[in-house]
Each structure stands twice: as structure tokens, then as C-alpha cells.
Structure 1
Amino acid sequence: MDEISTSALFITLGILILISAFFSSSETGMMSINPYRLRHLVKKKHGAAKRVHKLLERPDRLIGVILIGNNLVNILASAIATIIGLRLYGDIGVAIATGVLTLVILLFAEVTPKTLAAMYPERIAFPASFLLRFLLKVMYPAVWLVNAISNGLLAILRVNPNKRDNGHLSSDELRTVVNEAGALIPRRHQDMLLSILDLEKVTVEDIMVPRSDIIGIDINDDWKRIVKQLTQGQHTMLLLYRDNIDDAIGFVHARDALRLLTRNQFNKSTLIRAARELYFIPEGTPLNVQLLKFQRNKERIGLVVDEYGDIQGLVTLEDILEEIVGDFTTTDAPSPSEEVHAQQDGSYVVDGSANIRDVNKEMGWRFPTDGPKTLNGLIIEYMEEIPSEGISLRLAGYPIEVLEVKDNMVRSARVMPSLYTPPDEA
């Protein structure tokens, strides 16, 4: 080393620091790159992405070649800095060189390049993949030896180095990804994607038309009334039954009735024969499961039944699709905005028949949805009796005043969200 000039040593030291910065930035860039975007680019036959993906298939080898190169460079830089310190300042130069080199490496070979790589991983990882792939081939024996020793130490600690996370996202993690997509995905599309993910948490009971609201045709009714229901009704598919819904016959499509009418065969007996077979859905079925069942069975409408076989309500394919894309059909059912009436004092008068889940979604409230489906049912369950008018209570943190009770039902109640207190603080 004595025959090498000090200026040459300074130049060599600067080059080593640059090489160290390359290894540090490439390590951070490789590990920070978005794996889902990388897979997308690989599918599009992006050359650099394919190289990076190939390297990341064996992260132990990639980290091995980076760390071997980085440590060799840093150790050599330390030795050269020590020589320069001795030449310039004598024995105290060792301490000076150690302090100065530590600061320089931290600033120019660690913090700055790693921060830059974390911010722009693709810009660093893609070009670096050329050299890293070459170095991996050249240094493969050393990399293999280091990995073998490292894997042996992990085995002693009962850690399997070959068992890695498959990178699959859970439903909750996928929701976070969608929410953080920002302007990359329009808000309307984000809502639809989140609604699809929520299908597994929603059951047919949450969206069904309640038994009391099912519009059907009693075959024992006057014939003129039946014709009027078929010709003036808003629904193309109607439930056909005898006297009450429990004695259901089938579903009648308006198109079938029209066909009978054109053939002059339109009467009660032919209407019964034209009725389509009933399709039953167990209560508690998640919407994602029922959507697949509708598709598999080529059905569009079904009756929800409880464990005793009693009819609880009616669900259609359109009801499930509306959970994803929002309302798009004509329906007699009131929307939450028609059942929630704002008052001047900041409170809201809510119809007792209002669906809790729909009201929560529209108003941003937090009433529990794992029990009764309507506000009336929620209040009665909480009170454990039919309340009297004027009674006030705090339910799920919301002050509620019962305004009207009729036919053993809470017809309307006043909700005061401005006085909401979280249940654990109430």
C-alpha cells in the first residue's frame, strides 16, 4: 500500500462508497417493490420485471449476494480509510478515519440511497437486476456456502427457511388495498368492490322482502282482482298461493300469463299449471353463497325459510346485485331516505319498519345488525316488551324516543345522533 498515492486511495474510497450505495439501494428497492404490480408487469412480458421476479423467487440468494458484496466493499473501505488516516494524522488518524467514514457511509451509502430506493423501488430495482443477476452467477459458490450455514442456524432455531408467506391477501387486507387505491380506482368502483367483499358478511335475511310485504296472488281471490294484479303490478314475477303464503303454489311470470291470454286459455287452472316450481333458501345463507346457487340452479327468485320450514321472506337475484351496484330496479319498498326524516333540532324521526342495515349505510350510524333487522325489532328486543309512547332509551349509544306504537309495533321513533356516546363510554 505504501507505493499507492494518497490521492489514488481517496479515489478508490469514493468508488467503494458508491458501490456500497448501489448494494444498499438495490436491497431496499428489491424488497420494497410492489409484488402485485410486479406480477402484472411480468404478465405483460416486461423484461426487467421478469428479471426482478426471478431474483425474488429465491430471496435468500438475492440477500446473500447483496450482503456479501456490501460487506466486502465496506470492510475494504474501512481498511483504506484507516491507511489514509495514518498517513495524514498518525495514530490518532485511525479514530478520525473511523468517525468520518461512519458518517459518510451512513449519509451516502445507507440512509440516502435506501430512502431513495424506498420511494422509487422500480427505478432502482429494474436497472440493478442486470448487475445483481451477473454477480449471483459469479459469486454463486460463496452465496451457496453462506446460505447453507445460515439455513443451518435457522434449522437449529426450528425455523424453516423454505416456508414463506404466499403473499395472498385476506378479505380485510384487500379492503384496505381498495380503500387506499385513491384516484387509481374511481370511488364508484371502489364502493362496488367493497360491496362484493361484504357479500360474505351479509345474509339473505338482511336483504329479503319480509313475509308481510310479499306481493302475491291468492288463487282463491276473485278472478277480476287476479287479472288486475297481473296487468297493473310492477313486478314481472309474482308468488301464487292459496289463501295464505304458507300454502304457496309457485311463481307466475307475467310473460307466461300473457302467452295464455293470447291463446284464450287464461283461467285459474291454466295459471296454476303455468306456475314455476318454488325455490327455497335457508335463512342465514350468505349472499356470496346464494349468488352462486342462483347461478348454478338457473334461478332468479326464492323464498327464505327458517329451520321449521316456515316462509320468512323473498329474495331475488336483483336484490343481491343491488347490494353490489346499488338500486337500479323499480320497487315499492321505501328507500332509507324516505324512512328517515330530518328535524330542525338535529334529530331524525325514523319509521319503525326501517331496515337497520340500510339506515346505517345511508346515515353513517352504528346500530347493531347481528340481531333484529328493523328499528322496531331492535327496540323491542332491547326493552323485552312492547314499549309505550313517550318512553326514552339509549340504544347502541344513541338516545331514542318512542313516538308512536300501534298494532304491537313501534311505528316511529326519534333518534338523536348528535348526542351519540360510544357504548363502552356510556
Structure 2
Amino acid sequence: MSDDTPLTLMFVMLFALVLLSAFFSSSETSMMSINRYRLTHRANGGDRGARRVLRLLARPDRLLGVILIGNNMVNNLAASIATLIAIHFLGEVSGPAVATAGLTLVILIFGEVTPKTFAAVRPDAIALPATWILQPLLKVLYPLVWLVNGISNSLLRLMGLKQIDGGTEKLTREELRTVVHEAGSMIPHRHQAMLISILDLENVTVNDIMVPRHEIAGLDLEDDEETLLAQLRASQHTRLPVYRGHINDIIGILHLRNAARVLSAPEFTKAAIVQEAREPYFIPESTPLHTQLLNFQQQKRRIGIVVDEYGDVQGLATLEDILEEIVGEFTSDVAGTHKEIHPRDDGSYIIEGTANIREINKALGWQLPTDGPKTLNGLILEYLESFPSAPACLEIGNIRLEIVDIRDNLITSVRCWQQLRRVRQEAE
């Protein structure tokens, strides 16, 4: 009975050491693969376990030091005990070799691959409880950890690594886009689209979303009073630019709420319109949308006149236009929302040449290039490199465009359709 007791004790110790090896291995993997952003969120919410993990991760060299020291001590001790057990049964000749092979297999399966795989899949389930052991163990083994880290960090500095702390790296805009896309069902698709649109505001400028100058509805003070009165009564816009003779000579912006006082006055005069108009707010055409959104907020404005580098009016931008870039159009009816896009029964579209390319892409899900001309007319002229003397046909990517009408040196309408054959080939 007494002869078997030491052998039984060695088997128990070997089993315990394999479990400890699994603990250190899984702790290492879970600590390194845990989602730090989720961890920070939990810590800010008062989760003490998350705070302990963050404290350990603040110095990854010390964390890895205590884990690897513990793991190596456990594995070496397990190797010694396994050798003694093998010698007892197989003798001193073949015992060590069998012990090495057998323990390697056991450690590989039960102490490395299995626990590390589990920790990689469910890091939170391992990392948070493991801190109860790793924190005190770090204090006990701190002199040895300090010595090992000192030598290791010196070698790392010689290799050019100066910073050893585990501060969380900041996400770039493109990385954040990937995070939003990978969120899947955790974030509704509609919300994902809004978040992506916010991230894209920096890449979009005011002249991408403005109302072109030829589409601006305003009050020309050189018109007679009856014409101005009819415009005010029939206007579908809340704010109207007031100019004299030419759109470049803008006097102000008239809000229809103030126009009501003009209409209710005993006598309708142009001077009353000028008096009620607010001074115009001008916007450089290259202003990024995220900057302009803040400018509208700071200036307490909802509408601005877009000008180029020479001060000439290029168009008109509103707060609603920027908000639509984030939340999408306020109606899902493509034909009603995009009056320049006319669907046909054969699946093609008749699109006016003045249509904005970004609006076409958003409405139809196409990918026409947006880094050059802003309108379909400009895009076609850029590709043709000359003004067509007659209707012509061209391809841009997988979009086929057929010029339908040319008028006054302007491509007024284009028949467009997506070539499905090419789309299928690309998908394959």
C-alpha cells in the first residue's frame, strides 16, 4: 500500500500539471484575442473583471512573462514526473523516450491545442476569471518577471521596438467602416448605412450635393412686381434667393415666413422683399460635407450659396441636402425623388444630362466614377474627349450609355442600362 502511494501521488500531480498547462495556455490566447473595445465598454460600465483584464493588458510584457514562466515551470515539472513514472514501469533505457513522446502528445492535445482553441473562440469566458489567479501570481513572481522582462525588453529595443505598453491602437476610418460592416445583425442594416454615410462625409464636398445654378429657383428683382408676387404665392421652397438681374448678384435669402409680412402689407413692393431678406451665406465649393454641417450649426443657417474660387455662384446647398447624405432620401420612390431619371419598360433608363452622377449611383446602385465631372453630361464628354456631332454610344465600366438628344452644346438625355452579362461574369 505504501509503495503505491508515491506513484499514485505522481499520477495526481501529473494530471494537475496538465490542467495548469491548459490554464496558462488558454489564458495567454484569451488575453491576446479578447476584444478590447468591448472590454473597455464593459469596464466603463463598472465591470470589475474587465477592469482587471485591462490593467494586465496595459503591460503585455509582464502579462506574457508571468504566463510563460508559469507555463514553462509546469511543463518542465510535468516532464520530470512523467519520466519518473515511465522509468518505474519501463526502466531507465526506454522510459525517458516513451515519457517524452507520450507527454508531448498529451500536452499538445490537452494543454495547448484544445484550451487555446476554446480560448480563441470564447476569450471572455477564460480571460475574466483568469485574472483572479494571474494578478496574485504576478505579485509573487514579480522579481523573476522583472528580470525576464528586463532582458527581453532590452533585446526588443535593440530591434527598434521602443514602446512596450499595450495601449489600444486607434481605428482608422476605413477600419471603422469594416467594423460596421462586420457587425452584421448586431446593427440594423439601415443604421449601418447611416454610419457609413457619416464616415463618407469627409470624402464628399459641397459641390457634390448642391443644386446647380441653372436649377435655382429665386426672385429676380428686375422682374415686375406681378411676376414676383406670383412666384411667392406658388413657391414650393421655404427659402428663396433674392438677386438682381443675374444669379451672381445675390442680395439675400428670403424666408417665406417673412414673405408673409410682405404679402399681407397694404402695398407689395420690391423694397419690402429686400428688407425682409437675410444677408446671403456663401460656401466654397470644395468644403467637405462634415465641415459644412458644423458650419451650418455654428452659423445657425440652413441654406448657403456655393461659389467657386472666382466668387461666381455655382449652386445652392441646404442642411437638408447634407442630412439626406446621412439618412438617405426622404422618399423611396426613385421616379418621384429623382426627376431626372426615367425608368423604361425594357429595364433601361432615360437620364437627363444634367443629372448628378452620385445621385444616379445612389438611386440605381451603379458605380459610375465620381472623382471627375459631377454630371452625366460632363462624364460623357470626358470619356469622348470631344463634343459629339451626332448621337453616339459608349461603355463606362459595365454601364452602357447611348446619347439620345443633343441640344445647344449640351447632352440633354442619355439612355443607360447595366450590362447583366458582364455583371454575372464578374460575380463568377
TM-score by length of 2: 0.92
| Secondary structure of the structure 1 residue equivalent to 2:419 | helix
| Secondary structure of the structure 2 residue equivalent to 1:5 | helix
| Secondary structure of the structure 2 residue equivalent to 1:196 | helix
In the other structure, the counterpart of 1:277 is 279
> Residue by residue, what CA displacement relative to the aligned partner does 1:371-415 show, whole Å, maximum 9, x if unpaired?
111111110122122224441222244332212212222222222
In the other structure, the counterpart of 1:36 is 37
The answer to whether the aligner puts 1:292 opposite 2:259 as a matched pair is no
In the other structure, the counterpart of 1:6 is 7
- 1:111-260 equivalences in 2 (<5 Å): 111-162=113-164, 166-260=168-262
The answer to whether the aligner puts 1:393 opposite 2:397 as a matched pair is no
From the superposition, tell whether residues 26 and 397 of structure 1 become closer, same or farther in structure 2 (CA, over 3 Å): same
The structural deviation recorded for 1:226 is: 1.0
The structural deviation recorded for 1:416 is: 3.5
Distance 1:223 1:262 in 2: 15
The one-letter code matched in structure 2 to 1:295 is Q
In the other structure, the counterpart of 1:323 is 325
Distance 1:97 1:297 in 2: 79
- Length, aligned pairs only: 420
Tell me whether 350-359 or 107-116 shows the greater mean CA deviation: 350-359
Q: 1:108 aligns with which of 107, 110, 123?
A: 110
| Secondary structure of the structure 2 residue equivalent to 1:290 | helix
The structural deviation recorded for 1:17 is: 0.3
Distance 1:284 1:222 in 2: 36
Is there any run of 5+ residues in structure 1 with no aligned partner, and where? none
In the other structure, the counterpart of 2:86 is 85
The one-letter code matched in structure 1 to 2:185 is A
Distance 1:224 1:329 in 2: 34
Tell me whether 359-368 or 301-310 shows the greater mean CA deviation: 359-368
The structural deviation recorded for 1:275 is: 1.3
Instruction: Give yes or no for contact 2:341–2:351 (8 Å, CA) kept in 1.
Output: yes
From the superposition, tell whether residues 415 and 261 of structure 1 become closer, same or farther in structure 2 (CA, over 3 Å): closer
The one-letter code matched in structure 2 to 1:102 is T
The structural deviation recorded for 1:266 is: 4.0
The structural deviation recorded for 1:306 is: 0.8
- 1:249-398 equivalences in 2 (<5 Å): 249-264=251-266, 266-328=268-330, 335-336=337-338, 339-344=341-346, 346-398=347-399
The structural deviation recorded for 1:265 is: 6.0
Instruction: Give yes or no for contact 1:154–1:161 (8 Å, CA) kept in 2.
Output: no
Q: CA RMSD in A?
A: 2.3
From the superposition, tell whether residues 263 and 401 of structure 1 become closer, same or farther in structure 2 (CA, over 3 Å): closer
The structural deviation recorded for 1:165 is: 5.7
| Secondary structure of the structure 2 residue equivalent to 1:45 | coil
The one-letter code matched in structure 2 to 1:150 is S
The structural deviation recorded for 1:140 is: 1.0
- 1:13-28 equivalences in 2 (<5 Å): 13-28=14-29
Distance 1:242 1:199 in 2: 34
| Secondary structure of the structure 2 residue equivalent to 1:193 | helix
The one-letter code matched in structure 1 to 2:196 is L
From the superposition, tell whether residues 338 and 245 of structure 1 become closer, same or farther in structure 2 (CA, over 3 Å): closer
The structural deviation recorded for 1:235 is: 0.8
The structural deviation recorded for 1:107 is: 0.8
The one-letter code matched in structure 1 to 2:294 is L
Tell me whether 410-419 or 355-364 shows the greater mean CA deviation: 410-419
| Secondary structure of the structure 2 residue equivalent to 1:110 | helix
Percent sequence identity over matched residues? 55
From the superposition, tell whether residues 388 and 413 of structure 1 become closer, same or farther in structure 2 (CA, over 3 Å): farther
Instruction: Give yes or no for contact 1:249–1:278 (8 Å, CA) kept in 2.
Output: yes
Instruction: Give yes or no for contact 2:373–2:379 (8 Å, CA) kept in 1.
Output: yes
> Residue by residue, what CA displacement relative to the aligned partner does 1:256-291 show, whole Å, maximum 9, x if unpaired?
111344454642112112211111111111100111
The structural deviation recorded for 1:99 is: 1.2
Distance 1:166 1:148 in 2: 23
| Secondary structure of the structure 2 residue equivalent to 1:159 | coil
From the superposition, tell whether residues 34 and 379 of structure 1 become closer, same or farther in structure 2 (CA, over 3 Å): same
The one-letter code matched in structure 1 to 2:200 is D
> Residue by residue, what CA displacement relative to the aligned partner does 1:12-47 show, whole Å, maximum 9, x if unpaired?
111000001011111111111111111111111111
